[in-house]
Amino acid sequence: MGGDKTDVWQGTLALMVLKTLETIGPMHGYGIARRIEQISGDRLAVNYGTLYPALMKLEQEGFIQSEWGVSDNNRKAKFYKLTRAGRKQVEREAREWENTTAILARFLSPEEQP
C-alpha cells in the first residue's frame, strides 16, 4: 500500500471539519486540514480547493463562524469555530454516518445476516 494518500471522500469532509472544530476548538483552515490528515494516520489528503469551499458552505449554513486572527507563525488567518447549530449538526451527521456504515457492513459481511 505504501504512502499513497486518498482524497477525502465526498460527503464526509463537512463532518470531519465539524468534528475537528468540536474536539479542538477554533482553528484556521490549514490547521483543520493538518488535523484531518493526522487523525487519518496520514492516509487522507485534504485538498485546499475542496476544503475552503466546504468551510464557506458550512459558514453560509450557520454551522460555523469565522473571524480573522493571528496564527502561531504570526500570520493573519481566518479562524473557524462551531456554532450551536453546528454542534447539533455534528450529532445528526454522526448518527447518519453510523447508520450508513452499519448498513454497508451488512453487505460486506453477508454471512452474518439473520
Question: What are the structural domain ranges in the chain?
Answer: 6-112
Q: For CA atoms 22, 27, 33, 38, give the dihedral sign.
A: negative
Is the CATH number 3.40.50.300 carried by domain 6-112? no
Q: What pLDDT, in 10s, does the model give residues 49-88?
A: 999 999 999 999 999 999 999 988 899 999 999 999 999 9
The reported pLDDT for the residue numbered 6 is: 67
Beta bridge partners of 28: 79
- pLDDT(113) > 80: no
Residue 36 CA to residue 108 CA, distance in Å, equals: 26
pTM confidence score: 0.83
Strands in 16-106 per DSSP E = 27-28, 44-45, 64-70, 76-82
The reported pLDDT for the residue numbered 3 is: 53
Residue 81 CA to residue 2 CA, distance in Å, equals: 35
Residue 46 CA to residue 60 CA, distance in Å, equals: 21
Contact 68/75 with Cβ under 8 angstroms? no
* Phi/psi of residue 2, nearest 5 degrees: 70, -155
